[in-house]
Amino acid sequence: MKNLLNDQNFSVEIKIKEFSYNQEVLFKNFNFILKSGEWSCLLGGSGVGKTTLLRCFAGLQTEYGNIEVSCSDGGQLGTRISYMAQNDLLFPWLTALENITIGNKLRGQKIDEEKGLYYLNLVGLLKNKYDLPDKLSGGMRQRIALARTLMENRQIVLMDEPFSNLDTITKLKMQDLASELLKTSTVLIVTHDPMEAIRLGNRVYVLYERPGRLKQPIKIDKNKPRQITDTNLLELHAQLLNQLSFEQNNGLET
């Protein structure tokens, strides 16, 4: 089954005049552009606002600030976006298959069980199709959430630490899978894993300070996913670690 994305090219830009939460200004005069068809990876110390920024892109934090999100083609974001939260957000009364196909149900569409089974198989959980979430491990639940995100087949994909609960081998496999299926999508991924960012990102950003600011991105032109044994990759990994260490040593919480 092929990933049939609209081939229309457009970038996505967020402009935050000011965003405050609990009387603290998290963003002020902040601009960030997601380049069309690229993976942007966002890192930074805990509490600096990575998840908040992701939610701003998704239109989930508008009550806390003056936020404008726009597409370069002038179109609306609407159904172009798929959002994978840090928590799996599975419905506890639905089976794995029902959770993956929940988008069909919420939109009043015919449930595409065949497609749901296809994606369950891709993440290695076909045998668990009728299991409820409480029968599954945290890593299995996260793979179901990933399968649900991939099945939505959107042009813009926002993911918050989508591989964090997985063991090392499964993590690499799921990174490879997402990279292949979303290779023409515009993706923003929040991660605490520098190697993950270097493997998957076309542009890797470090968010720092309050109000939040972005370091100049590390740009990587090589095809992805990249092999962790690649010497150039290891050099970029060291460069990114230096950026993160510098910011954390200058006052960011870890």
Residue 8's pLDDT is 56
The DSSP symbol for 161 reads S
User: For the whole model, what pTM was predicted?
Assistant: 0.89
Residue 244: Cβ within 10 Å count: 19
The DSSP symbol for 194 reads H
Residue 43's pLDDT is 95
Residue 6's pLDDT is 44
Q: Which residue has the tokens 């649900």?
A: 148
Q: Splitting the chain (254 residues) into consecutive groups of 10 residues, what average pLDDT does each group show?
A: 50 92 90 94 92 91 82 80 94 97 92 96 97 97 97 94 95 96 94 94 93 92 82 86 72 42
Residue 254's pLDDT is 32
Q: Per-residue pLDDT tens for 240-252?
A: 888 887 666 555 4
Extents of the domains making up the chain: 12-249
Looking at the domain 12-249, which fold is it?
Rossmann fold (3.40.50)
Residue 250's pLDDT is 59
CA 223 to chain centre: 19
Q: Which residue has the tokens 């998840």?
A: 51
